[in-house]
Amino acid sequence: MSTVPPPAPESAQPIPPAPPEPPARPGAPRSAAPRVVATLVGAFGALVILGSLGSTAIATASAAVSGGGGGSSSTDSTVDAAGVAELETEVGAGSLRIEFAEVDDATLEVTRGWGADQWRLERNEDTIRVSSPDRWWGGWMFGDRSEAVLTLPDTLEGIDADLTMNAGDLRVIDGDFGDLDLDLGAGSIDITGSARSVDATVSAGQADLELSDVAEADVTLNAGDMDLVLTGTQPSEMTFDVSAGRVTATVPEGEYDITSEVSAGDLDNGLGSTPGARSTVEVSVTAGQVELRAG
């Protein structure tokens, strides 16, 4: 019996060597950083050029507004003031000063800045109305606002006034009013004088009021700051409703019955409280700060 030998194992095939890496090409970039830097430098240069062109265009337009079309010319308007019982203002931009003098008619003089010829002084029955250009045009863009002075006969002292400032500045020195309604959207109001009552709403900006012999004061502050100084006769009723911002009220010394509701913020009551006092103060603070003190 013969034995068959097992087949010989197949020899392992040799593994071919890995191909060599190709040599780096001369001048090939090793990083993208130089390209990024070059791109940024180019973009910055473009912005500089655009900024220069924009500045030139604005300067040219500003010069055209100031020099062409009477945009910065001075204007005077006059209306008969006999029998007038109320004053209204609707100022979109610019500066308005109100004063009383020994004159017969109401006069509005506007000087400086864009839109000087677009202010209006009108009379409708027993109401004098002053309006200005809208804040979104012309001088608001170029920083060249107009300035106006309204001169009223001193025979109108004690007039009711409804003064609205959407933007800009309102100033009254030694003004004597009846019912004084104020609405400040932005900017500032600075009034000294007297009033029978004051109803002030401030959405933003700064309001400084120094008034004597005010019987009733109603203040609503949505944002911004108000400094209220009342002198003379002790007010019978005051209301403060503050959503945000700060109110500082200085009032005549005396007894006040104060009620308050503070959700957040702070009430600094320097007056104390006398229940049943003839003068009442109601304070509501959602946020912000109210400070009451005697002057």
Residue 1 forms part of a structural domain: no
Look at residue 15 and tell me if it is in a domain.
no
C-beta separation of 174 from 123 below 8 A: no
> Confidence class of residue 22 from pLDDT cuts 50, 70 and 90?
low
Q: What is the pLDDT of residues 112-157, one digit of tens each?
A: 666 677 899 999 999 999 998 765 444 444 556 789 999 999 999 9
What pLDDT is recorded for position 135?
A: 55
Domain check: are 52 and 179 in the same one?
Answer: no
Q: Is residue 3 part of a domain?
A: no
* 255 shares a domain with 191: yes
Question: What are 25-58's pLDDT values in tens digits?
Answer: 544 445 444 454 445 445 545 444 444 444 433 3
Give mean pLDDT, residues 96-122: 90
Return the amino acid letter for 242.
V
Boundary of a domain, candidates 68, 88, 119 = 68
Q: What is the mean pLDDT of residues 64-92?
A: 76
- When pLDDT is cut at 50, 70 and 90, the band that residue 111 belongs to is confident
56, 155: one domain: no
Q: What is the pLDDT of residue 235?
A: 98
Mean per-residue pLDDT, 86-100? 95
In this prediction, residue 118 carries a pLDDT of 84
Note the residue count of the chain: 295
Q: What are phi and psi of 230, to 5 degrees?
A: -110, 130
Say yes or no to pLDDT of 181 above 50: yes
pLDDT at 16: 52
- Residue 206: Cβ-neighbour burial (10 angstroms; 0-12, 13-18, 19+): middle
Same domain, 48 and 139: no
Whether 57 and 189 share a structural domain: no
Angle at 222 between CA 242 and CA 161, to 5 degrees: 95
Q: Find the domain containing 222 and state its range.
A: 75-294
Query: What single DSSP character describes residue 283?
Result: E
Largest CA distance in the chain: 152
Do 44 and 160 lie in a common domain? no
**pLDDT by residue (tens digit) across 196-212?**
999 999 999 999 999 99
Same domain for 106 and 236, yes or no, is yes
* Residue 131 resides in a domain: yes
Do 58 and 133 sit in the same domain of this protein?
A: no
CATH no. for residue 188? Answer: 2.160.20
Among the three residues 18, 51, 68, which one is the final residue of a domain in this structure?
A: 68
Same domain, 143 and 261: yes
Question: Which comes out higher in pLDDT, residue 182 or 5?
Answer: 182
Question: 80-89, 90-99, 202-211, 273-282 — which is least confidently predicted?
Answer: 90-99
pLDDT tens column, 230-266 = 999 999 999 999 999 999 999 999 999 999 999 989 9
Same domain, 180 and 272: yes
Same domain, 45 and 189: no
Q: Residue 7 domain-assigned?
A: no
Q: Is residue 113 part of a domain?
A: yes
Residue 90 in domain = yes
How many structural domains comprise the chain?
Answer: 2
Q: Which two tokens stand for residue 175?
A: 């003004």
Is 267 within the bounds of a domain? yes
For 19-158, where are the E strands, in sequence order?
75-80, 86-91, 95-101, 105-111, 120-124, 127-131, 147-153
Global pTM? 0.74
* Pair (63, 90) in one structural domain: no
Task: Using the structure block, give the residue that is written with the tokens 């009034």.
Answer: 191
pLDDT at 85 over 90: yes
